[in-house]
Amino acid sequence: MTHQDLTTLNTKGDYYAAVDLGSNSFHLVVVHVIHGNVQIVSKVKQKVRLAAGLDAHNHLDQLAIERGWQCLTRFADRLQNIPKENIKIVATATLRLATNAEDFVREAETILKHKLHIISGEEEAAEIYRGVAYTSTTSGNTLVIDIGGASTEVVVGRDMQPLHVHSFNMGCVTFMQHYFEHGHLTEDNFNLAINAAKTEIEQHVHAFKCFDWQQALGASGTPQAITDILIQQGIRDEIKLNYLYQLKSQCIEALHIDALNIDGLAESRRVIFPSGLAILIALFESLNIQTMNIAGGALREGIIYGMLDNQTLTDRRSQTIHACILKYHIDEQQAESVTTTAIELFKQINQRLADTILDGQNILYAAAMLHEIGLHIEFKEQHLHGAYILRYIDLPGYTKLQKQCISDLVKYHRSDIPEDALQDYPKEVRTNMLQLLRVLRLAVVLNIKRTQDKSIYNIAHIQISEDAETPVWNVSIEKCWIAENKLVETELANETWLMHKAKQTLNLVQY
């Protein structure tokens, strides 16, 4: 949509709704679109476990059908005031498989007063990728995995385009029934489930590996549950195979699903968690996945953005930052000055950062643009207020781990750095975070006069010693510029002292 087209939009915006009849849960999401900005205003999720109603001949039993219809009755009430052309309703694996799907669909369309589309596995995978691409940080080729109730979609894509998609006939509800009969959690049951998943994956492994992806993202479901567990347990890290093995051991120790009690695991997810975990382990092992982060969206978001294809919504991160600037009355010119300085300094140290997929430049960009978000509350402890705000607000376009990183950079961007700062991160991530933090603090100090002086961007040059454990930063700054900016000189001296207190070394060299 062009700028001229935007002026023809209803100034009050438009509402859109997507309904996803999944094999485990039914979902409804409603968004408000105004001037190209997409705001989620309502989300409804209900466990229906439709797949649990499939028998050996793929006939859907009446009890499962009734559960689905009851849920749709509630959804129908929410859809009443949304234009029909702005609503899309899709069904996935269970209704693809069910021999009596037409019986369910006929009544469902009567309840919803709207057409219901049963989409293929490939269509579902493509929609999932679109939802991920619009709402998440992607870099190069990206592997996306969504473990559903009766199927698992795996996609490799680049930017907004899915390159290779496949829908596997395995899901957390169907695997729970087949491999964890009566809720028993044993080593043998896990091995059976993992091997069955690997058999499904095996003939497609090469097709995915040949794309050489740069990052893996999990879309909702089991990866989301695992991330919640890691966060609850104070582990600020990406999903890794050793964490999956640890969770598998905890499941086996419980012996039975009724006794499964993992800190951070939602009760609504408990019953199907072991089966989803088994599938994810198989995917990690078969595709040689090193780390995985959580995507910002999935199928529902893909459906929504599919209806908005005529609008310019390609950079979710920019929308997020701009919305925060407006909402929290951030001085945009000052934010841009600090950000430009920070990115210029970042380019000087980029080669020294550890190899992770956290996307340091985008994290630094967000933290720099939003570092004064806490001023919305008050000045003295603005950094603490800012960190609190960023911890609890939604930041579409950033993963949960990236959001934590942004919040922590803002938390420590001024004043003292406590000895235990950033200790919750794994070593290589903490090393990167400390480097990004020093860049942000230096950029803030250099712009402390709030003059938007563009000469600042080129006056500071960083040299870092070879000691990786306690790197020494030698920052060279033009002598004539320092002479004209005594306030900055004073603040740089103070920053040198604060770094010394934090057992870090910052040397200022005038040339």
String of DSSP letters for 192-203 = HHHHHHHHHHHT
Task: Give the CA distances from residue 357 to residues 88, 214, 349, 360, 362, in Å, rounded to whole numbers and listed in that order.
Answer: 34, 8, 16, 8, 11
Whole-number mean pLDDT of the chain? 89
Element (H, E) at 110: helix 101-112
Residue predicted with more confidence, 1 or 78: 78
pLDDT for residue 313:
47
Percent of the chain with pLDDT over 70: 92
pLDDT for residue 469:
60
Nearest to 297 by CA among 399, 403, 148, 405: 399
- For residue 430, the tally of other CB atoms under 10 A from its CB is 16
Residue predicted with more confidence, 443 or 11: 443
pLDDT for residue 2:
38
Q: Cβ neighbours of residue 324 under 8 Å, at least 6 residues apart? A: 330, 369, 370, 373, 393, 395
CA 15, CA 32: separation in Å to the nearest integer? 5
- What the block records as the tokens of 154 is 């795996």
pLDDT for residue 406:
95
pLDDT for residue 357:
54
pLDDT for residue 431:
86
pLDDT band, very low/low/confident/very high, at 310 (cuts 50, 70, 90): low
pLDDT for residue 9:
36
Residue 352 pLDDT > 60 = yes
pLDDT for residue 263:
94
- For residue 458, the tally of other CB atoms under 10 A from its CB is 11
Read off the pLDDT of residues 448-477 as tens digits, 9 standing for 90 and up: 999 877 777 777 776 666 555 667 888 888
Render 272-320 in DSSP notation, one character per residue: THHHHHHHHHHHHHHHT--EEEE-S--HHHHHHHHHTTTS----HHHHH
Residue 11 pLDDT > 70 = no
State the pairing for strand pair 25-34/14-21.
antiparallel
Q: Residue 366: exposed, middle, or buried by beta-carbon count in 10 A (0-12, 13-18, 19+)?
A: buried
**Cβ(104)–Cβ(51) below 8 Å:** no
State the pairing for strand pair 472-477/460-464.
antiparallel
Report H helices in 308-394: 316-327, 332-349, 360-369, 382-392
Residue 354 pLDDT > 60 = yes
Render 140-169 in DSSP notation, one character per residue: SEEEEEEE-SS-EEEEEEETTEEEEEEEES
Read off the pLDDT of residues 392-417 as tens digits, 9 standing for 90 and up: 998 887 878 889 999 999 999 999 99
pLDDT band, very low/low/confident/very high, at 88 (cuts 50, 70, 90): very high
Q: How many helices and strands in the chain, by DSSP H and E?
A: 21, 14
One-letter amino acid for residue 191 of the chain:
N
pLDDT for residue 394:
85
Indicate the angle between helix axes 486-501 and 427-446, nearest 10 degrees.
160
pLDDT for residue 458:
73
Task: Give the CA distances from residue 426 to residues 261, 263, 401, 422, 423, in Å, rounded to whole numbers and listed in that order.
Answer: 25, 20, 12, 9, 8
One-letter amino acid for residue 27 of the chain:
H
pLDDT for residue 400:
80
Residue predicted with more confidence, 282 or 238: 282
Residue 314 pLDDT > 90 = no
Bridge-partner residues for 164, per DSSP?
A: 156
| Ranges 173-182, 201-210, 317-326: which has the least confidence | 317-326
| Ranges 64-73, 90-99, 289-298, 311-320: which has the least confidence | 311-320
One-letter amino acid for residue 248 of the chain:
K
Q: Residue 377: exposed, middle, or buried by beta-carbon count in 10 A (0-12, 13-18, 19+)?
A: middle
pLDDT for residue 355:
59
Handedness of CA 197, 203, 206, 208 (dihedral sign): negative
**Cβ(406)–Cβ(398) below 8 Å:** yes
Q: Cβ neighbours of residue 472 under 8 Å, at least 6 residues apart? A: 464, 465, 505, 507
CA 299, CA 413: separation in Å to the nearest integer? 37
Read off the pLDDT of residues 15-33 as tens digits, 9 standing for 90 and up: 999 999 999 999 999 999 8
For residues 44-63, give the mean pLDDT. Answer: 94
pTM of the full structure: 0.80
Q: Cβ neighbours of residue 361 under 8 Å, at least 6 residues apart? A: 343, 346, 350
